[in-house]
Amino acid sequence: MIPLEKRIDLLRVIAHPIRIRILEELTHGVKCVSDFEDSLDISQPNVSQHLILLRTNGVIDFFVDGRLKCYFLKEPLIPDMLELLKKEYAEDIPAPACCPVTKKRTYPGERRR
């Protein structure tokens, strides 16, 4: 059982436009830092910082290939997460039927008062 706290940390780490793009690209295969430098159009140190943040949180990892660092996806939740982010929903959750219970001030269960 993985602790929810860890998963929330994971959410925080993922929740950034640049890092989402990094993860998207990594679903298509291995990439090195300068690949991202080209495709993301941000500075190389900034790329490194995002990659390091992702790595220290277990989201990605790399192997060394000469002077390249080849990053790849590690966290299995990521593909599911990216898919969920693109999922379309027809409509909002409907508001609760208006409101026999709360109008009496007696919430289901233990409404104190």
Selected from 23, 56, 96, 106, the binder of its own copies by CB under 8 A is: 96
Residue 14, C-beta contacts closer than 8 angstroms, at least 6 positions apart? 20, 23, 59, 78, 81
Please state, in angstroms and rounded to a whole number, the distance separating the CA atoms of residues 26 and 18.
12
Q: Residue 99, interface with its own copies (CB under 8 A)?
A: yes
Q: 46-85 mask for DNA (x: CB under 7 A)?
A: xxxxxxxx--------x---xxxx----------------
H-state helical runs in the chain: 4-14, 17-26, 33-40, 44-56, 77-86, 100-103
Instruction: Determine, following the binding rule CB under 8 A, whether residue 42 of this chain makes contact with its own copies.
Output: no
Q: Which residues of this protein are in contact with DNA, per CB under 7 A?
A: 12, 15-16, 18, 32-35, 37, 42-53, 62, 66-69, 113
